[in-house]
Structure 1
Amino acid sequence: MKCFIYFLLSLNLVSAQDRPNILWITIEDTSPQFIGCYGNKNASTPVIDKLAVEGIRFTNAFSTGTVCSPSRSAIITGVPTYKMGTGNHRSNYPIPDFIHGFPYFLKKQGYYTSNNVKTDYNIANEKAFIEEAWNECSNTASWIGRETNQPFFSVFNFAESHQSRTMSMSFDWYVKNVWNHLPESDRIADSAFEMPPFYNDTPEMRKQFARVYNSIKLTDNRIGALIKKLEKDNIRENTIIFFYADHGEGMPRGKTNGINLGYRVPFVIWFPEKYKHLSPWGKAGTVSSELLNFEDLAPTLISLTGGDAPDYMKGCVLLGEKCSKTRKHLLLSSDRADNGTDLMRTVTDGRFVYSRNFMPFMPEMRYIRYIEIADITRHMRADYKNNKLNALQKQLFKIRPAEVLYDIENDIWETKNLADNPNYKGILNKMRKQLKTDILKARDIHFAPEYEIGLLSKSGTAYEYRLDKKNYAFKNIYHAASLSGFRGKETTQKQIKLLKSDDKIVRYWAIVGLMSQDTRFVNSYKTDLVNALDDNYSPVAITAAAILYNCFESKVAENRLKDFCKSDNMDLALMSINYLLYVDNKIPFIETIKKIHELPKRNYNVKAACMDFLGILGLVDNNSGTEN
């Protein structure tokens, strides 16, 4: 119906129109709950709100990934991370030669393309990739460099709402870089907003959370200045404006977590009068509940500018002559963020969000250095330790369930997991089935451990490897992975049996599943775990060592973990240290971790995991990074 309406509106008009300019305004780390036009009366976002009133506001827009580089990988290529192998934050693996940044196709259609300035595309050979995609990519790039009457596609990335401003950098740094750039009348006080219920409502927490509102306010001011420049250059009436955030809010429980708060983003498209016929959603001020994600942006822009999207782009064309039928659900993904490994997959129909935790032995507040250095995290962990949190707030620090189901229409802060509610059994089963169907169809490459992706990327690409049914027996792999997180005697028995599989990745998921089991179910299988300690596939041996050490205080396992922590393979080292963050007795590893942190050629993630380990024990100051 959407495309039919567009057809009627545009009949006999398209050929008479010049091609539109396109301006992308992207902001960082922001959920719609903190934007005025999405219902937050405490927010001050008049520029964004006006765009929404005059344009089309989307309530069901989702990022493809919950941290910047994976989401930007999906945006620039039009390929979701779970197909490309780009879901792990700043991993930089090769992609097939036939996949280009979508502005490359716009250039071929005569558009001038500029990017100001963030790239972070999470792929190998990024410099050549950028040069191919953009006419200009710099902190001064704009539409200015185009030829006379040449249409442009210009991107402006605003970092004012980034997690560095809202939490990670010191409060003094925030004052210097955000607060001092706001007129006094724009500043939002600590008492001028409602706290999300999963945070403790204390003066210390309010002081930190006010940073979110003020950073978004500064962002709104910056967007206003850009739009004035567009008007000053007399090109606004020839320009379609897209506004969106790269993923959810950059605060604890949002960014990096595969729930609605990590995925859902504000998204607005503004059409000038000249191009209003291109909107299939109707008149200005319309609010659309259509489902869209970042996989859709590349094919939409290529189609809008007169081209045909390549076959590898499977996203929907949102507007224009070739717009796609609206879909009924989306598959979303969340993987490693910095040193915090994870794997979550999500299905949403817009109202319900169903997320599957495949590594639930880690809490939502898992250890990620960029989050740990923040004052707000320090307050949260101190309040948890001192028993000052309610049951909901404590849940952020406990192991996760295998699956969560939230009704976003009635529970926007995701406080009530409906997965165990018998009244929602039908919805749960439907979404479980849909998730399985979509993952199997995609042949999700991130069910291979990152260690494996690193190895195969030396001679090929993860995108192509996942299609190799002989070497990547995905149906069997997913069967093993689908057990992970479900706890019980029967599931444990199945996982122990899968430890004898000929497929190394099946064995990996069997042992990862055992990592999430209750100790009382694992205790009967010590011999099987000892045998797994000698597995020729290192990810299996490492995980077996972590279980044996944590459950049985095995000295052999302890020594194996110490050796793996020192590995020159950064993926194996990170896996080992990451497990140590969640074992009960960390004391025997202190000297090993201190030495590893000082070893040469350790990458950022390994060093960050070391710092998190030492920070847990109070051996480093999380604010300064120095030893106590």
Structure 2
Amino acid sequence: MNFKYIYVTLFFLFTLFVGAQPPNIVWIVSEDNSKHYIKLFDEHGVDTPNIEKLAQQGIQFNRAFSNAAVCSAARSTLITSSYGPKLATHYHRAEGKITLAKNQDMFPTYLKRAGYYTVNNAKEDYNIKKPAHVWDESSKKATYKNRSPGQPFFYVHNIQTTHEGQLHFSKEIMNSTKTKENPDAVFVQPNHPNTSVFQYSNAYYRDKIVEMDKEVGKVINQLKKDNLLESTIIFYYGDHGGVLPDSKGYLKETGLHVPLVVYIPEKYKNLTAFEPGSKTNAFVSFVDFGATVLNLAEIKIPETMDGNPFLGKNITIKDLENRDETFGFADRFDEKYDMVRSLRKGDMKYIRNFTPFNIDGLMNNYRYKQLVYQEWLDLFKTKKLNAIQSQFFEPKAPEALYDLEKDPFETENLVNNPAYHSQLISLRKKLNTWMEKLPDLSLYPEFYILENAIQNPVNFGSTHKMEIKKYLEIANLSLLEFEKATPILLKYLKSTDDWQRYWALITCSSFGKKAKIFHSEIENIMTSDSQLLNKMRAAEYLGITGIKNTSQELVEILYQSKKPTEALLILNAIVLQRDFYQHYSYPIDNTKLSKRVYNNGLIKERLTYLNNEITN
């Protein structure tokens, strides 16, 4: 018995009965480009006639955001309409894919159940164990043309032309290949050095944006050729920010603020309050996209979704005008660790750096394949950067506040400006409330999440909500004056809870040498703690402050680790200290590493770098 045929037949009988054919929905997704390179959205961008034409007939969203600044974390949010730190899908890329709870699914599944043909061409990149029933097709050859006659479809078309890898060109190519965009006239953002390498990379990348736009046009023209344009809602958007330094992988606007245009044909004008050619400053985020698609298809939105629809019946312009917030998160990117959260409300941007001693410019092998990354670091080492350009290679403040109207590239931290104090307090409180509500699983180390949470992260978070709230409170001690934090920190350094000690140590590192009064307690943790990562955090504190050379201790701690993500975090501390703090030597004997640790690909990236064998 052909159940698919019966299901589709019943679906069509239903649509005939209710007198409405659901819309086809197409996502055209360009990889790795923020709104800053497209003239439609930014004065420094290039002309994109196909996207511009789509906007003339559709809706231009000037405030659209990815919630993460890297592919797998961003796409995991898109496919679930749920925040990554809640699902443990926020590390790039997952060392262990999570399992969704029985009451939660990837959103195309709900479309498929309602009779849609679901197609993805071709990138997935989810940090989730993908159920078999999500896509009817998902491959480089996947097409909506294989659906049953008249069956509505949801189709995702990915364009890789603007991907970061396109900027992995050599000096020889740079010297021999001319760009269409003039490097001498191109805009270089103020936190970057205005050198010939940065100019060329900016021009080269804008050429790729123009190529990408032509591919967008091909998809639209094919829909028109297939007589589908007037029955299809089209989204064009970038999958997160751009690839020039301090964008992809970072919670700057250049990493999160994406272009978004949605075309809704006349046939379905009842699904939007906007007229064709409209522009809106309503905030929409990736967490909202899945819920929006379901709403357009008039499918009930599951309660497990965090997102809210911004198109569909009963969504008014007034409702959208009240939306002025977006949250962001950044954690491990390949072999480089950090923990950063952001909240933008209107034109104010708040960033919380939970490990501010981690340097943004810390080696990440994939990023440093770009000539601009290599040159930027070289210029820092030779002291040829100004104060703004040097920030990328220096410790951060625990929190930052930016006025984006005055400072769109987030170069002046306003945390200590009395004129912005009320905004600081309000945004800080709102971000903390969001993290507690999730709750944010990153308050546990990644290895612990892999061992205890990935089979049902939502249930784990719910069960441990109070513990997570306490860890957040300890982390936030770094926002106090040190004298006020001192007695509380001492209490948690002596706690019987492993992760209370862990966050107390991180907070000490955030305070730096101010916390040297805890020297004896911290050294005792380094030598005798039951938790290996607490030994590492203690050694890290003593090392980055220069109180004690703990290079040998860190190497010995590494040898004791049997868990790849635990060892990777230890190696992060080693690279951080070697490159940006006391510049100690770290001779690592690979034969002393656990076999499981040594065989991990990201571990090998770090070991190769430490042996000064950067892969290009």
TM-score, structure 1 normalization:
0.88
| Distance in structure 2 (CA, Å) of the matches to 1:593 and 1:515 | 28
What is the CA distance between 1:63 and its match in structure 2?
Answer: 0.8
Task: Specify whether residues 322 and 596 from structure 1 end up closer, same or farther in structure 2 by C-alpha distance, changes over 3 A only.
Answer: farther
Task: Specify whether residues 408 and 256 from structure 1 end up closer, same or farther in structure 2 by C-alpha distance, changes over 3 A only.
Answer: same
Q: Is the 8 A contact 1:67 1:256 kept in 2?
A: yes
2:85 equivalent among 58, 82, 93: 82
What is the CA distance between 1:188 and its match in structure 2?
Answer: 1.7
What is the CA distance between 1:539 and its match in structure 2?
Answer: 1.8
| Distance in structure 2 (CA, Å) of the matches to 1:15 and 1:187 | 53
1:331 alignment partner AA: F
2:261 alignment partner AA: V
Root-mean-square deviation over aligned CA pairs? 2.6
1:102-154 CA deviation, whole Å, 9 max, x = no partner? Answer: 1111011111110000000112x33xx2x311000010112111111111110
2:264 pairs with 1:271: yes
| Distance in structure 2 (CA, Å) of the matches to 1:54 and 1:492 | 60
In structure 1, the residue matched to 2:119 is: 114
What is the CA distance between 1:554 and its match in structure 2?
Answer: 4.8
| Distance in structure 1 (CA, Å) of the matches to 2:593 and 2:156 | 41
Task: Specify whether residues 338 and 553 from structure 1 end up closer, same or farther in structure 2 by C-alpha distance, changes over 3 A only.
Answer: same
In structure 2, the residue matched to 1:44 is: 47
SS in 2 for 1:38: coil
2:292 equivalent among 300, 303, 306: 300
2:566 equivalent among 563, 572, 583: 572
What is the CA distance between 1:209 and its match in structure 2?
Answer: 2.4
What is the CA distance between 1:308 and its match in structure 2?
Answer: 0.6
Task: Specify whether residues 484 and 169 from structure 1 end up closer, same or farther in structure 2 by C-alpha distance, changes over 3 A only.
Answer: farther
1:347 equivalent among 343, 353, 376: 343
| Distance in structure 2 (CA, Å) of the matches to 1:427 and 1:486 | 17
2:14 pairs with 1:19: no
| Ranges in structure 2 where 5+ consecutive residues have no aligned partner | 1-16
Task: Specify whether residues 528 and 546 from structure 1 end up closer, same or farther in structure 2 by C-alpha distance, changes over 3 A only.
Answer: same
1:359 alignment partner AA: T
2:434 pairs with 1:427: no
SS in 2 for 1:562: helix
Q: Is the 8 A contact 2:85 2:441 kept in 1?
A: yes
2:354 pairs with 1:358: yes
In structure 2, the residue matched to 1:316 is: 308
What is the CA distance between 1:31 and its match in structure 2?
Answer: 1.0
| Distance in structure 2 (CA, Å) of the matches to 1:338 and 1:487 | 34
What is the CA distance between 1:464 and its match in structure 2?
Answer: 1.3
1:429-477 CA deviation, whole Å, 9 max, x = no partner? Answer: 111111122212221111111121011047x42221010147x512211
SS in 2 for 1:36: coil
2:76 pairs with 1:73: yes
In structure 2, the residue matched to 1:532 is: 525
| Distance in structure 1 (CA, Å) of the matches to 2:559 and 2:23 | 54
| Distance in structure 1 (CA, Å) of the matches to 2:459 and 2:168 | 37
| Distance in structure 1 (CA, Å) of the matches to 2:43 and 2:559 | 46
| Distance in structure 2 (CA, Å) of the matches to 1:29 and 1:594 | 39
| Distance in structure 2 (CA, Å) of the matches to 1:137 and 1:424 | 49
| Distance in structure 2 (CA, Å) of the matches to 1:230 and 1:407 | 42
What is the CA distance between 1:593 and its match in structure 2?
Answer: 6.6
What is the CA distance between 1:623 and its match in structure 2?
Answer: 5.2
Q: Which segment is superposed worse, 38-47 or 544-553?
A: 544-553
| Distance in structure 1 (CA, Å) of the matches to 2:87 and 2:150 | 37
Task: Specify whether residues 486 and 187 from structure 1 end up closer, same or farther in structure 2 by C-alpha distance, changes over 3 A only.
Answer: farther
2:401 alignment partner AA: L
In structure 1, the residue matched to 2:437 is: 441
1:84 alignment partner AA: L
1:231-268 CA deviation, whole Å, 9 max, x = no partner? Answer: 11111111110011111112211111123222111111
Q: Is the 8 A contact 1:60 1:350 kept in 2?
A: no
Q: Which segment is superposed worse, 359-368 or 557-566?
A: 557-566
1:241 equivalent among 230, 234, 246: 234
| Distance in structure 2 (CA, Å) of the matches to 1:572 and 1:305 | 44
Q: Is the 8 A contact 1:29 1:162 kept in 2?
A: yes
| Distance in structure 2 (CA, Å) of the matches to 1:42 and 1:542 | 45
2:65 alignment partner AA: F
SS in 1 for 2:120: strand
| Distance in structure 2 (CA, Å) of the matches to 1:62 and 1:42 | 18
1:159 alignment partner AA: Q
What is the CA distance between 1:94 and its match in structure 2?
Answer: 2.7
Q: Is the 8 A contact 2:597 2:603 kept in 1?
A: no
1:198 equivalent among 191, 201, 205: 191
2:240 pairs with 1:250: no
Q: Is the 8 A contact 2:568 2:603 kept in 1?
A: yes
What is the CA distance between 1:589 and its match in structure 2?
Answer: 1.0
2:89 pairs with 1:100: no
Task: Specify whether residues 549 and 78 from structure 1 end up closer, same or farther in structure 2 by C-alpha distance, changes over 3 A only.
Answer: same
Task: Specify whether residues 133 and 314 from structure 1 end up closer, same or farther in structure 2 by C-alpha distance, changes over 3 A only.
Answer: same
TM-score, structure 2 normalization:
0.90
Task: Specify whether residues 529 and 43 from structure 1 end up closer, same or farther in structure 2 by C-alpha distance, changes over 3 A only.
Answer: same
What is the CA distance between 1:611 and its match in structure 2?
Answer: 3.4
2:557 equivalent among 549, 560, 563: 563
What is the CA distance between 1:610 and its match in structure 2?
Answer: 2.5
In structure 2, the residue matched to 1:523 is: 516
Q: Which segment is superposed worse, 563-572 or 286-295?
A: 563-572
1:232 equivalent among 225, 232, 235: 225
Task: Specify whether residues 594 and 172 from structure 1 end up closer, same or farther in structure 2 by C-alpha distance, changes over 3 A only.
Answer: farther
Task: Specify whether residues 173 and 340 from structure 1 end up closer, same or farther in structure 2 by C-alpha distance, changes over 3 A only.
Answer: farther
Q: Which segment is superposed worse, 387-396 or 541-550?
A: 541-550
| Distance in structure 1 (CA, Å) of the matches to 2:406 and 2:57 | 27
| Distance in structure 2 (CA, Å) of the matches to 1:485 and 1:473 | 20
SS in 2 for 1:510: helix
2:600 equivalent among 599, 603, 609: 603
1:391 alignment partner AA: A
Task: Specify whether residues 387 and 560 from structure 1 end up closer, same or farther in structure 2 by C-alpha distance, changes over 3 A only.
Answer: closer
Aligned length: 590
2:203 equivalent among 185, 200, 210: 210
Task: Specify whether residues 600 and 506 from structure 1 end up closer, same or farther in structure 2 by C-alpha distance, changes over 3 A only.
Answer: closer
What is the CA distance between 1:597 and its match in structure 2?
Answer: 11
In structure 2, the residue matched to 1:613 is: 610
SS in 2 for 1:104: helix
Task: Specify whether residues 348 and 593 from structure 1 end up closer, same or farther in structure 2 by C-alpha distance, changes over 3 A only.
Answer: farther
1:114 alignment partner AA: V
What is the CA distance between 1:319 and its match in structure 2?
Answer: 1.5
In structure 2, the residue matched to 1:402 is: 398
| Distance in structure 2 (CA, Å) of the matches to 1:196 and 1:623 | 28
Task: Specify whether residues 203 and 395 from structure 1 end up closer, same or farther in structure 2 by C-alpha distance, changes over 3 A only.
Answer: same
In structure 2, the residue matched to 1:386 is: 382
| Distance in structure 2 (CA, Å) of the matches to 1:597 and 1:380 | 35
Task: Specify whether residues 168 and 507 from structure 1 end up closer, same or farther in structure 2 by C-alpha distance, changes over 3 A only.
Answer: farther
Map 1:430-579 to 2 at 5 A: 430-457=426-453, 460-469=455-464, 473-484=467-478, 488-519=482-513, 521-533=514-526, 534-551=528-545, 554=548, 558-565=552-559, 567-579=561-573
What is the CA distance between 1:329 and its match in structure 2?
Answer: 2.3
2:259 alignment partner AA: P
1:288 alignment partner AA: T
In structure 2, the residue matched to 1:3 is: none
In structure 1, the residue matched to 2:214 is: 221
SS in 1 for 2:477: coil
In structure 2, the residue matched to 1:10 is: none
1:465 alignment partner AA: F
1:590 equivalent among 557, 575, 587: 587
Q: Is the 8 A contact 2:350 2:399 kept in 1?
A: yes
1:190-223 CA deviation, whole Å, 9 max, x = no partner? Answer: 2241111111111122122222211211111111
Map 1:366-381 to 2 at 5 A: 366-381=362-377
Q: Is the 8 A contact 1:168 1:373 kept in 2?
A: yes
| Distance in structure 2 (CA, Å) of the matches to 1:566 and 1:171 | 42
